[in-house]
Amino acid sequence: MEANQLHPSAPKTVQASSEGFGTAPVFFTAISTILGAMLFLRFGYAVGSVGFWGMMLIILLGHLVTVPTAFAISELATNTRVEGGGEYFIISRSFGLKIGSTVGIALYLSQAISIAFYVITFTEAFSPLFDFVSRRFGWSLPRQVISLPVLVALGILLVRYGAGIGLKMLYVVTAILFVALMLFFAGNPLVSSDAAAQAGEGNFGAFRLRNVFVWLAICFPAFTGMTAGVGLSGELRNPGKSIPRGTLLGTAAGMFIYIFIVWKLAISASRADLSSDQLIMARIAYFGALVIPVGLGASTLSSAIGSMLVAPRTLQALAIDKSFPSSSINSKLSKGRGRTHEPVYATIVTFILAFVFVSMGSIDSVAQVISMLYLITYGTLCFISCCYHFGSPPSYRPTFKSHWLLSLIGAVSTVTIMILIAPLYAICSFGALVLVYLSISYYKKDEKGLFEIFEGVIFQFNRRMRVLIQKRRTAESASEWRPSVICISRNSFERDKVLELIKWLSHRHGFATYFHYIEGEYSEATHKDSKRILRRLIELPSGAGAMYLHTMVSPSYTSAIAQAIQTPSISGMEHNMALFEYDKSRPEEIALIASELHLAKAGELDICIFADAKTIIRYYNDIHVWLTDADEKNTNLMILLSYIILANDDWKRSTIKVFKISARNIQEEKANLQQRIMAGRLPITLANIEVITMQEDQSLWDVTFKYSSQSGLCIIGFTDDLPRSDIHKYFSRFNGIGDILFVNASKEIDI
């Protein structure tokens, strides 16, 4: 999928050079960053503390993040034309510029601060020199006498000569690093064979789970280098091929080297030696006093070079996408030199930021922040891959395929490890990301955001659930009734109280589909008109809730109802209730509804007719349910609808009152109603149930008016045997009451 297909509004970024690098720079950048200072300075301590198997667990936990991330990057890189910006480009073209810029800024800061971290650690290779000067001259030299000149030299070389000189240096220091490791593996144990065996047994037997998580926090920066080569995407001939190969090869090589180094440490020194000497590898390796400090220097220098190569390119890509609020800043940082668009200004800014942190001398606390920022980036990449697997857009066609479960494991492991390493830093990191996202959203309002991330996933989940529900839902198995309402009206903008009613009916317990009726023949003009009306409809405050809004173009109201009733609900449930509405001040509308009721009856739908009194809704005046002896089939539905409506927050100050008009024994009728209500566990007290015996000169509407003229909503039943000609007369007699919901059940339901 092309970059502009993934994100059409994104500006053009740095193109990959047709004469650029191959796979080797990706691999060497990754492996040189993986085999960094933590390997030389902390692995011996860790083996001495948690033993061989404890370190194996640490390596496993670290690679639960790095391996899924490597696969996710490889997959995403083969699905899009990856250009300048590496991981940032992949994230922004998949999630959009809002989230891409947010994570990209975090990624850039971690890369830039890493330069300072590696340069400061590089000075540890000169510990013998500092010790010599201190003993001979009594001078306690600061580490900056080495770190600052080294950083300045690297900055000048990269600004002047670009990535080419950086990669040449990278090859040299990587070669030195591998020579140092080979001499380490060739080295002899520190003690005799028997003692070595005892030392090995001690290291293989020591395992403390609590210390494992402590050392995971200390050693985790050693696992944060496998994506370093992705940042060279703008200088690669074929990023879709080089990124997967180089990244996966670097990740695999780093993991196996770590395992063998831990094994070598475990069999070569006792726990006491491992725990007391941070350069224990120098005592094990051949010519260790020379090659291990040189190897340490090479590893940290190569890591610094790798970070210095990729950080400016991330910053340049951010500026090209106008991620910063200042246009002048974006213009400066996006400028490049030569055919490969070498990021000169971005390199200078990165150098200045690294210089500030190197001048501070020690950034141990910042190192945890670096790990947090890297982990957020890795987790995001895994999450993107997982979302794409579930979303299954047709444009997602990677030539290299991972598995959604692997990506999910990576995303979950990332969050878990962040919390295990430093809960406070994890919370602060997420909080900072949220603030950055809100800031970017403010001036990038039209860009893709969080909602679009889940759109494809929700679509696939909904699609599968609907098919599953349809297969499993049968007339026999669907015993628990819940409202699935269908309503069609042409009066959406003149009177929207029916939308409020639909919101009450669908709140928490059900679903509704509402069509705005447009009379006419379906054509290009009416189609455009329907789209415009739909946008207005969605923006209505009363249109919120568990309802789906749409439009229906049809030559007649009758044909529109017939179409709507047959339209399947997007909820996966079949429609079981048809809702009509009319204005009490327009009694002629009753006749129109009466002529269409047969369509709903043909579909075996329950029928509700809402009579709008054109008054404000009196939420605090209770819901009154009126039952008669003729409402035996309607009774349960009417009571259940009153409960569903009352569950809405709008009605929280009201109660349900049930009135039963009957010529039978009052106590028996009251006990029968109470039994139904108790069986249904409905919030209706005995005090709110009243059985009324009408006098000979009274009618239903007289009694109803006497008790319910000020009610918030009345629910009244009507029967199937009510002739069409009498419907108008029947409904009109209740005009003295407020809003009324007339109910006719197609069959008796269980409460």
Least confident range from 51-65, 147-161, 685-699: namely: 147-161
Could you give the 3-state DSSP secondary structure of residue 47? helix
Which of 402, 429, 450 is at the close of a domain? 450
- Asked if the structure places residue 466 within a domain, the reply is no
* 409 and 553 fall within a common domain: no
282-299: average pLDDT: 83
Gap between the Cα atoms of 541 and 502, Å rounded: 13
Alpha helices, H only, 340-422: 344-359, 364-391, 404-421
* 416 and 528 fall within a common domain: no
Strand ranges for 584-631 from DSSP E:
606-612, 623-628
Tokens standing for residue 573: 């449930």
Gap between the Cα atoms of 204 and 55, Å rounded: 10
278-286: average pLDDT: 85
Gap between the Cα atoms of 57 and 46, Å rounded: 12
**Is the per-residue pLDDT at 364 higher than 80?**
no
* 97 and 209 fall within a common domain: yes
- Asked if the structure places residue 323 within a domain, the reply is yes
User: What's residue 31's pLDDT?
Assistant: 81
Query: How many CB atoms lie under 10 A from the CB of residue 364?
Result: 9
User: What's residue 428's pLDDT?
Assistant: 82
Tokens standing for residue 275: 């725990």
With residue 485 as reference, give the H or E element that holds it. strand 484-489
690 has which bridge partners?
659
* 235 and 381 fall within a common domain: yes
User: What's residue 193's pLDDT?
Assistant: 44
Top-ranked range on mean pLDDT: pick from 6-15, 160-169, 574-583: 574-583
**Structural domain harbouring 93:** 3-450
Strands ordered across the beta sheet of 577-583: 547-554, 511-519, 484-489, 577-583, 606-612, 740-744, 713-717, 623-628, 656-661, 689-692
Q: Is pLDDT larger for residue 657 or for residue 404? A: 657
* 416 and 556 fall within a common domain: no
Strand-strand pairing, 606-612 and 740-744: antiparallel
Among 258, 261, 266, residue whose Cα is nearest residue 197? 266
Among 181, 7, 37, 201, residue whose Cα is nearest residue 116? 37
b/e code 432-466 from CB counts within 10 Å (16+ = b)? bbeebbeebbeebeebbbeeebeebbeebeeeeeb
**Is the per-residue pLDDT at 302 higher than 80?**
no
Domain count, the chain: 2
User: What's residue 15's pLDDT?
Assistant: 43
* 75 and 165 fall within a common domain: yes
Least confident range from 46-60, 202-216, 293-307: namely: 202-216
Helices (H) and strands (E) in the chain, counts: 30, 10
Are 110 and 370 within 8 A, CB to CB? Answer: yes
Q: Is pLDDT larger for residue 737 or for residue 390? A: 737
- Count of alpha carbons within 13 Å of 536, Cβ hemisphere only? 13
Share of the chain above pLDDT 70, in %: 82
How distant, in Å, are the alpha carbons of 12, 327, 351 from that of 444?
17, 13, 28
User: What's residue 83's pLDDT?
Assistant: 65
* 78 and 168 fall within a common domain: yes
- Asked if the structure places residue 459 within a domain, the reply is no
Q: Is pLDDT larger for residue 48 or for residue 605? A: 605
- Asked if the structure places residue 469 within a domain, the reply is no
Among 582, 651, 659, residue whose Cα is nearest residue 617? 651
pLDDT level of residue 475 (50, 70, 90 thresholds): very low
* 504 and 446 fall within a common domain: no
Contacts of 45 (CB under 8 A, 6+ apart): 215, 218, 274, 275, 278
User: What's residue 208's pLDDT?
Assistant: 62
**Is the per-residue pLDDT at 253 higher than 50?**
yes
Could you give the 3-state DSSP secondary structure of residue 354? helix
b/e code 549-565 from CB counts within 10 Å (16+ = b)? bbbbbbeebeebbbebb
User: What's residue 485's pLDDT?
Assistant: 92
- Asked if the structure places residue 173 within a domain, the reply is yes
**Is the per-residue pLDDT at 136 higher than 80?**
no
- Asked if the structure places residue 473 within a domain, the reply is no
Least confident range from 290-304, 555-569, 584-598: namely: 290-304
Gap between the Cα atoms of 70 and 381, Å rounded: 9
End-to-end CA distance of the chain: 53
**Is the per-residue pLDDT at 476 higher than 60?**
no
Which of 408, 432, 450 is at the close of a domain? 450
Least confident range from 139-148, 273-282, 604-613, 650-659: namely: 139-148
Helices 43-77 & 364-391 angle (0-180, nearest 10): 30
**Is the per-residue pLDDT at 447 higher than 70?**
no
* 109 and 30 fall within a common domain: yes
Gap between the Cα atoms of 220 and 222, Å rounded: 5
Which of 432, 450, 468 is at the close of a domain? 450
Gap between the Cα atoms of 239 and 234, Å rounded: 8
Gap between the Cα atoms of 31 and 152, Å rounded: 24
- Type of residue found at 655: T
- Count of alpha carbons within 13 Å of 266, Cβ hemisphere only? 24
Q: Is pLDDT larger for residue 361 or for residue 15? A: 361
Contacts of 508 (CB under 8 A, 6+ apart): 546, 644, 647, 648
The widest CA-to-CA distance across the chain, in whole angstroms, is 121
Least confident range from 229-238, 581-590, 710-719: namely: 229-238
CATH number at residue 154: 1.20.1740.10
Could you give the 3-state DSSP secondary structure of residue 259? helix
- Asked if the structure places residue 335 within a domain, the reply is yes
**pLDDT tens-digit profile of 701-750?**
888 988 998 899 999 999 888 777 778 888 888 888 889 999 999 988 87
Are 661 and 695 within 8 A, CB to CB? Answer: no
**Is the per-residue pLDDT at 259 higher than 60?**
yes
317-330: average pLDDT: 86
- Asked if the structure places residue 472 within a domain, the reply is no
Q: What is the DSSP string of 632-654?
A: TTTHHHHHHHHHHHHTSGGGTT-
Top-ranked range on mean pLDDT: pick from 206-220, 355-369, 665-679: 665-679
Are 611 and 585 within 8 A, CB to CB? Answer: no
User: What's residue 194's pLDDT?
Assistant: 45
pLDDT level of residue 494 (50, 70, 90 thresholds): confident
Mean pLDDT of the chain: 80
User: What's residue 552's pLDDT?
Assistant: 93
Among 21, 88, 25, residue whose Cα is nearest residue 314? 88
* 548 and 445 fall within a common domain: no
Strand ranges for 662-708 from DSSP E:
689-692
Gap between the Cα atoms of 221 and 375, Å rounded: 10
* 196 and 147 fall within a common domain: yes
Gap between the Cα atoms of 71 and 75, Å rounded: 6
User: What's residue 556's pLDDT?
Assistant: 92
CATH number at residue 538: 3.40.50.12370
* 443 and 492 fall within a common domain: no
pLDDT level of residue 409 (50, 70, 90 thresholds): very high
